[in-house]
A and B are shown apart, each in its own frame.
Chain A
Amino acid sequence: EAGVTQFPSHSVIEKGQTVTLRCDPISGHDNLYWYRRVMGKEIKFLLHFVKESKQDESGMPNNRFLAERTGGTYSTLKVQPAELEDSGVYFCASSPTGGGRETQYFGPGTRLLVL
C-alpha cells in the first residue's frame, strides 16, 4: 500500500512569490491533515479535512494560506504571497475515519525556503 506522498520535496522561492504544495493521502483515507515545523520548533497543526470539507482550520497562521481538497482526494496548500517566516517543513498526514484515537500517517514533507 502506497503511503502519503507530497510534492515537491523541496521548494526555494523569493519573498512575495506564490508556492503550491500538494499532498496525496493514503487511498481510502477520508481525513487529511496539514502540519508545519519551523526551525527549532515543534511540529504544529495547520488544518484538518474530512473528505472535501474543512473540519478544523484553527492552526492556519493567516489568510495568505489557502488549503483545498477538491473531490476529497488530494489536497493543495497555497501560500500567497510568501513571507520569510513561512520557511519550514510542511507535512501532510492522513487517517481512515478520524477521531483522536486514530493513527495519523505522515508524508515525507515539503521543505520550503523563502528568501
Chain B
Amino acid sequence: EDQVTQSPEALRLQEGESSSLNCSYTVSGLRGLFWYRQDPGKGPEFLFTLYSAGEEKEKERLKATLTKKESFLHITAPKPEDSATYLCAVPGTASKLTFGTGTRLQVTL
C-alpha cells in the first residue's frame, strides 16, 4: 500500500525566511508525485508534478525537487500570501491519489 508522510505538520516563518517542506513516500512503483496548495475553505490547487528522481520544478518562490525516497518543497523568501496548507500526493496503479496530511505554513510580517 502506498504511503505518504509529510513534515513538519506546521511551520511558522517570518517574511523572507526561507525553508523547506518534506514529503516522504513509499510506493510500489513511482508514477509521479504531485504538490498541491490548499487555502482554508477551498480545494487543493495544483502546483507541480515530478516524474523522476533528480527532477526539479519552479514557480515563483517555490521549487520542488524529487529523490527516490522523498520530495522537498523549497520556499525562498516567502510572503504572507504563501500561507496555506501544502499537500503532496502519489498516484497508484489505478490513478487514485494517496495524500499526506499536509504541512500548514504560516508566513508572518
Contact = CB atoms under 8 A, between A and B. Distances in A.
B46 to A, nearest CB: 5
24 contacts: A33-B95, A33-B97, A35-B97, A41-B101, A42-B100, A42-B102, A43-B44, A43-B87, A44-B99, A45-B97, A45-B98, A48-B96, A56-B94, A95-B95, A100-B31, A100-B95, A101-B31, A101-B32, A101-B51, A103-B46, A103-B49, A106-B43, A107-B43, A109-B43
B95 A4 contact: no
Q: Chain B interface: which size bin? A: 20 to 34
Interface string B46-61: 1001010000000000
Interface of B: 4, 31-32, 34, 36, 41-46, 49, 51, 87, 89, 91-102
Contacts of B87: 43
Nearest to A41: B101
A102 interface: yes
> Which A-B residue pairs are the 7 nearest by beta carbons?
A100-B91, A106-B43, A100-B31, A45-B96, A43-B99, A56-B94, A106-B44
A108 B51 CA distance: 26
Nearest to B42: A108
